[in-house]
Amino acid sequence: MGIIVVCDTNVFVRETHLLRKKGGPALVRLLRAINGRLLIPEILQTEYIEQTLEAAEEQRVKVVPALSVLETLIGFRSQPLPANDLIEQGAVDRLRTLGDITQISPLSPEILEAAGRRSVAKQRPTSKTDHGYKDCLIWESVLRLQAGSEVRFVSHDKAFFSGHQLAQDLVDEAQARGIQIVGYRGIENLVRDLQEANPILDLAALEAQDLTDTGTEAPEGIAAAFVAPVPQATEAGQIQAGLALAAADVQEVAKRLAEARKRFDELELKILAYVAYLANPSKEQLFLLLYQAQIPTDVAKNVVERLVLAGFVRDIGNHYLVVDRTIGEAVAPIVEAEIIALLEKGADVDGH
């Protein structure tokens, strides 16, 4: 029986962006390699989507004023930000992508009743603020797992923990049902322990699955072109059919390129904001912090060069500088919370 991992909403959505960053992709690769499962109680499935919408709205509020300033300053007309229905569909699609490692736990009447009794009795993980009913639903779902299950529970919620360890009464309760459980306050330590427990895994080979792990799939037209190439046409009708299919493939390629450019456009705004917020950062400082923000160094350098060529950033030897202070003041708030979070977690901006 493989490892079963449970991630609370803050870890799954806020910290790892639906397991796309900060140890999330590594966890997905490891679970696939060791036949592990990601347990998603039904209440968490709902919360994952709700919190994705809420987190997106928080970022939209920050971005819209800055984009408005940019539009009036330089005549730049940005693309509309994704609407809620698109964001919700993105979250649903991401969960579907993880379906091969996912185990959904429906909310049964038994779980609802047990969670209610636990909450009324003020038994962990009940909290003083909201009675912790949702947390009780999560915990009761864990307790319904098969005896012999090995669970790794990842949460920042103090209701589940005593210090840095999962509360002993919860551990004892799970063990009484034949369930071995270990708690983690962050996903990185879990990934480290899984790697140490499976030393024979070729992690470099697993890393090649990154595109799959992030839910990035080739459009059907392009995938079909590689899987089933068009045979060489020998008659006029076949030639015309081949040309029509080739034209369709070219359109798919153009669409794929446009999507890639859109990704770079988003990174340009983010990296411009980093340069502005850090105020004359050294190249080493900037690229180190961007790397810790899950932006590969080669990609970051490419984007900065584009900003230099466009006249937004000046390369002054070992440092970068935003050319227009007004633009810098407009975009810096976009990444303020993200940079502060990185610094609080020990990101090394001095390059030491």
Q: How confident is the model at residue 221 (pLDDT cuts 50, 70, 90)?
A: very low
Residue with the larger pLDDT of the pair 352 and 198: 198
| DSSP designation for 317 | S
Q: What pLDDT, on a 0 to 100 scale, did the predictor assign at position 345?
A: 75
Q: What pLDDT, on a 0 to 100 scale, did the predictor assign at position 64?
A: 79
**How much is the mean pLDDT over the chain?**
81
* Residue with tokens 């049902």, as numbered in its chain: 177
Q: How confident is the model at residue 76 (pLDDT cuts 50, 70, 90)?
A: low
Summarised one tens digit per residue, pLDDT across range 294-308 is 888 888 888 888 888
As a whole-number percent, the residues of the chain with pLDDT over 90 amount to: 43
Q: What are phi and psi of 34, to 5 degrees?
A: -105, 10
> What is the DSSP secondary-structure string of 71-82?
HHHH---PPPPP
- pTM for the full model? 0.58
| DSSP designation for 98 | G
Which residues are bridge partners to 165 per DSSP?
Answer: 162
C-alpha torsion sign, points 108, 114, 120, 126: negative
Q: What pLDDT, on a 0 to 100 scale, did the predictor assign at position 63?
A: 81
Give span(s): CATH 3.40.50.1010, the chain: 3-207
Please choose, from the candidates 350, 327, 332, 340, the residue with its C-alpha nearest in 3D space to the C-alpha of residue 276. 332
Q: Please name the residue ranges forming H helices in the chain.
A: 9, 24-33, 42-74, 84-97, 109-120, 133-143, 168-176, 187-197, 203-207, 210-213, 220-227, 236-278, 283-292, 297-310, 325-331, 333-344
Going by their DSSP bridges, the two strands 150-154 and 180-184 should be labelled as parallel
Which range among 145-149, 214-218, 268-272, 314-318 has the greatest average pLDDT? 145-149
List of residues 6+ apart from 191 with CB closer than 8 A: 23, 26, 27, 30
144 pLDDT higher than 60: yes
Which range among 38-52, 186-200, 279-293, 298-312 has the greatest average pLDDT? 38-52
Q: What pLDDT, on a 0 to 100 scale, did the predictor assign at position 79?
A: 66
Residue with the larger pLDDT of the pair 88 and 67: 88
The rounded Cα 222 to chain-centroid distance in angstroms is 25
Summarised one tens digit per residue, pLDDT across range 157-175 is 999 999 889 999 999 999 9
Q: What pLDDT, on a 0 to 100 scale, did the predictor assign at position 9?
A: 94
Strand, helix or coil for residue 11: helix
Q: What is the dihedral of CA 189, 191, 196, 201, to 10 degrees?
A: -170
Least confident of 37-41, 248-252, 295-299: 248-252
CATH number of 245-344: 1.10.10
30 pLDDT higher than 70: yes
At 286, list the tokens.
Answer: 């900037």
Which range among 40-44, 71-75, 243-247, 261-265 has the greatest average pLDDT? 40-44
How far apart (Å, rounded) are the C-alpha atoms in residues 112 and 140? 8
Q: What pLDDT, on a 0 to 100 scale, did the predictor assign at position 262?
A: 63
Q: Are 270 and 334 in contact (CB under 8 A)?
A: yes
3-207: which CATH architecture?
3-Layer(aba) Sandwich (3.40)
Give span(s): CATH 1.10.10, the chain: 245-344
At 294, list the tokens.
Answer: 């899950």
Which range among 3-12, 70-79, 131-140 has the greatest average pLDDT? 3-12
Q: What are phi and psi of 73, to 5 degrees?
A: -75, -45
91 pLDDT higher than 90: yes
Q: Are 39 and 105 in contact (CB under 8 A)?
A: yes
